[in-house]
Amino acid sequence: MSLFRSEEHVQRWLHRSGLQGGTTVTLGALLQLARAWYPDPRNHEWRPRTRDESQAVLAAAGFVGDFWMLPLP
């Protein structure tokens, strides 16, 4: 993961590095995902999520599309 100030910064870095761009997300979206993805495991009702539940967490945070599809078991 690389952090950038703006989309323009991403484009300049890609141009200089000769790499192709991947998916970019805002820091706010990443924070939203982290809060949903890592609930408090001290909660006595905590249990690991299923693949479908994890996929739903990604979708609820706006992370949709082929790049964000979790592998099938």
Q: Where do we find the tokens 């820091």? A: 27
Say whether pLDDT at 66 is over 80: yes
Q: What is the pLDDT of residue 47?
A: 87
User: Which of the two residues, 64 and 22, has the higher pLDDT score?
Assistant: 64
Amino acid at 26: T
Nearest to 49 by CA among 68, 62, 31, 36: 36
pLDDT tens figures, 46-61: 888 999 999 999 999 9
Cα–Cα distance for residue pair 26/54, rounded to 1 Å: 20
